Amino acid sequence: MAEAALDRNHHGPTYDMRGLGFAAGDVVVVTGAGSGIGKATALAAARSGLAVAAWDKCAETNRVTKQEIEALGARAVAVTVDVADGAAVARAWEPTLQLGPCRYLVNNAGPPSNSVACFEDNLTIAVGSVHGVTTSWIGHCPTVAAALVNISSIAGNFQGGGQAIQPFYPASKAAIAGYTRYLATRYRGAPRANAVAPGLVITPRTIPFLDMPVIAETAARIPMGRLGFPEEIAGVVLFLLSPAASYVNGVLLPVDGAWAHA
């Protein structure tokens, strides 16, 4: 594994993304924005000129995300919400819409791959929350909804996932990919719907496991020789959301250093 990939405080590259064609001040909702890929995506959105509604069930980490977005000069609101709770999602729109109509959505929140809750419950949360938030977003923004990106995984889509994760995880990520293709054809590009399939990424959820031999073995099988960083996923998410990807619809894009093809 590359040494940089083991640095707990290291982050991937960040870029000025204002050239992607977003209108300044347009609003994106990012679920699970308190940490990991969600936080990196929220910050990348701010760098692109978007205002960010950061949704997370952890108020403290989400508050920090909001502060970092505002430090970049972007508008933000932090909304404490469990996306698996339909009533909570409905309430979340009142503070969210204070930023303005939400043209963009990133469905990132979901149970961790090692969650030991029962298969059916985890599957319902992981897939049902994506459907619930998406349906609610379209209902609140029927004339402005432009694009959404769902966070899937290479697990369940390009590989089985192995022994280190619970069975609901590849099942739910495959379902999210299928749901994304449904949205892409159902709404005929208004909004566009795409999905990203990350490989193994260094996040607060994975950091406790980085010293395990299986992680080093996994990294050795990745053609790029290292794990990914949240910022490397976020850049792809922002491209797929953006007007620069205006003819990209229904795609499941792996971002895994070619691990799935090794």
- Tell me the per-residue pLDDT of 73-104, one tens digit each, with 9 for 90 and over: 999 999 999 999 999 999 999 999 999 999 99
Residue 43 lies in a domain: yes
Q: What confidence tier does 10 reach under pLDDT thresholds 50, 70, 90?
A: low
Residue 11 lies in a domain: no
**Contact present, 191 and 199 (Cβ < 8 Å):** no
9 phi, psi to nearest 5 deg: -100, 5
Residue 52, H or E segment: strand 51-56
Q: What is the pLDDT of residues 171-195, one digit of tens each?
A: 999 999 999 999 999 999 999 999 9
Residue 256 lies in a domain: no
Between CA 194 and CA 172 the distance in angstroms is 16
Residue 261 lies in a domain: no
Query: pTM surpassing 0.75?
Result: yes
Task: Output the pLDDT for position 9.
Answer: 54
DSSP 8-state symbol, 223 = T
Res. 162: pLDDT tops 90:
no
HSE, CB side, 13 Å, CA atoms: give it for residue 98.
12
Residue 142 lies in a domain: yes
Domain total of the chain: 1
**Contact present, 76 and 53 (Cβ < 8 Å):** yes
Centroid of chain to Cα 171? 17
Please report, rounded to a whole number, the percentage of residues in the chain having pLDDT higher than 70.
95
Residue 3 lies in a domain: no
Res. 110: pLDDT tops 60:
yes
Task: Output the pLDDT for position 163.
Answer: 67
Residue 50 lies in a domain: yes
Between CA 24 and CA 46 the distance in angstroms is 10
Residue 5 lies in a domain: no
Q: Which domain holds residue 80?
A: 24-251
Task: Give catalytic residues, as residue numbers.
Answer: 169
Task: Output the pLDDT for position 230.
Answer: 96
Task: Output the pLDDT for position 2.
Answer: 37
Task: Output the pLDDT for position 214.
Answer: 77
Over the chain, what is the mean pLDDT?
92
CATH number of the domain within which 79 lies: 3.40.50.720
